[in-house]
Amino acid sequence: MAVKGLRKAIARYGAPTAGCVVALLALTGCLGSPGAPERRGGLWVNPDNPAARHARDQRRAGRYADARLMRRIADEPLAEWLGPNPRDRVRLVTESAAREHRTPVLVAYHIPYRDCGHYSAGGARNDREYLDWIREIVSGIGDRKAIVVLEPDAVAQVVDGCVPERLRGPRLALLRDAVAMLSAPPGTQVYLDAGNPGWIRNTQRLVEPLWESGIEQADGFSLNVSNFQPTQLTRAYGHRLSTQLGGAHFIIDTSRNGNGPLTRGGEGRADDAKGGARDDAKGGGGSAGHPGTGAGTRHRVVGGEENWCNPPGRALGEPPSTRTGDPSIDAYLWIKRPGESDGTCNGGPPAGRWWTEYALDLARNAKARHR
């Protein structure tokens, strides 16, 4: 894979893949807080994240068992989803993380015609406004470290046809410009989103759009954002796509995939090697954060609701870590913030809003190895 600049080439191909991997320059470092797991590899934990605030509220109310469950989310590094006028927020987050010698995860989710007008409709009004928004992120980061997940769903929605044909080429060109701008600072790692294995089943269909979107300038691609696909399945899918892209690295969102996706039988298993839905059906897809959660044009329906949108019985997955044991996978991350709704479906509040009951269920259902 053609990688951006000499720094990336040296980092990716000139270092061992075990221990403190040079390819993870922006991720490595020791956590300073007592007892913090070394597995995090320097990822920043926001002490005032939504789960932390609710854990404190529950403890003050005497709900100690719920507070302990909520800490399973609160104590982990969660991504920061960026809203309008992001410069000041990005500066605050990156400065806070830098003081602790850690690296925050940021999500840029503001593409024009975002989410094809569904649950997370919105985004920038035009290309110029979008690139100004990206410039604010770059300015806010400065010379500090950051991981940026760029535009969940944006490429896959081009492939599945939900983006009108007249907007497809301009969207990919806009993503290329965004990748170039975000990847210019040496401390920033950029991952262009590539959907999930239950959505675009044939990875070859993603290759050309990813090239057109500037994947060669990025640090890799992201998978399973706000999705429930099992890690094993997503890992295999990522390796296929990586090979087709010439060895691109990738990251996986494991925030809610501990029980895999909801199936027609009403359950789902984390070791389910099939999972997902037919190609182009979004099947378990969708992104969530500020302001909400993504949705494609067609969804697999289970019990009258989309199976990707606040499905019951799901669980936290592998905790965030840069120590994946796989040289092609740079990190497992909690990109979707567990406890934030996917949308007004299956009893949930509007997309991106906090839902305490759902957060507690995710934590309660987490397997011992994921706690």
Give the residue numbers marked as catalytic: 115, 153, 342
Pick the closest to residue 213 from 158, 178, 175 (CA basis): 175
* CA neighbor of 146 nearest in space, from 25, 293, 316: 25
Which residue is listed with tokens 């969207």?
171
Tokens of 333: 């991350």
Give bridge partners of residue 147 from the DSSP assignment: 105, 189
Order of strands, sheet of 146-150, starting from the edge strand that comes earlier in the sequence: 80-81, 105-108, 146-150, 188-193, 220-223, 249-253, 329-333
Instruction: Give the ranges where 245-371 is alpha helix by DSSP (H).
Output: 356-365
As a whole number of angstroms, the distance between CA 210 and CA 84 comes to 26
C-alpha span between 52 and 58 (Å, rounded): 10
Q: Where are the alpha helices (DSSP H) in 39-149?
A: 50-60, 64-74, 87-99, 127-141
Pick from 231, 148, 163: nearest CA to 197: 231
Per DSSP, 221 falls in state E
Rounded-to-integer distance, Cα 206 and Cα 242, Å: 11
Measure the CA–CA gap between 37 and 149, rounded to whole angstroms. Answer: 23
How far is it, in rounded angstroms, from Cα 109 to Cα 123?
7
| H/E segment holding residue 108 | strand 105-108
CB-neighbour burial class of residue 48 (10 A; exposed 0-12, middle 13-18, buried 19+): exposed
